Structure 1
Amino acid sequence: MPLLFIGIDPNTGSEESATIWVDHANRELIFQGRKPGQELTAECAATEVPGHAKGVPDHEAVVRIPARMVHMIREACDAIERDAV
């Protein structure tokens, strides 16, 4: 099943494109966003999260999604929940 495109940052430029999709087959939300830079990545990696080791594993990434896309994130959550019924 192909990804369901939910939306792209309405303020996107030719070089940026924060985007949200739903992957119904794997029951996942897919986010494309800006890389956070070394300082923020280090801050995330140093933050203690109960039940998890510190750090960002090599197979994971931290991305930035603009707050103006919250309604798209909600739409993606609704789309994946509808599929669960």
Structure 2
Amino acid sequence: MPLLFVGIDPATEKDKSPTVWVDQETNELVLQGWKPGAELEAECAAFEVPGHAKGIPAEEAVIRVPARMVHMIRKACDVVERADVP
């Protein structure tokens, strides 16, 4: 999986590191973030979206990233969108 590093939260401690990458093979964003905690995860799992089952599938995860990383996520989105252009 050829990952392209986009950015890391500059305001976190050295051993904590919400990070944004782009998987250049699949054109997907790859995000590392904080675990949401049981209460927030339960709220997400209980959320109803028409046409979808409640819950969080075993192969999916809920994560939190700080709002100060929005510009990094936008940059990653730009990379993925450019890759889709022939």
Q: Where in structure 1 do 4 or more consecutive aligned residues deviate above 6 Å?
A: none
Q: Distance in 2 between matches of 1:49 and 1:8?
A: 31
TM-score (norm 2): 0.94
Shift of 1:22: 0.3
Gap regions ≥5 residues in structure 2: none
Gap regions ≥5 residues in structure 1: none
Q: Percent identity?
A: 67
Q: Secondary structure in 2 aligned to 1:76? A: helix
Q: Secondary structure in 1 aligned to 2:44? A: helix
Q: Secondary structure in 1 aligned to 2:72? A: helix
Aligned Cα RMSD in Å? 0.9
1:27 aligned partner: 27
2:59 aligned partner: 59
The residue type paired with residue 44 of structure 2 is C
Q: How many residues align?
A: 85
Shift of 1:15: 2.6
- Bigger mean CA offset, 1-10 vs 35-44: 1-10
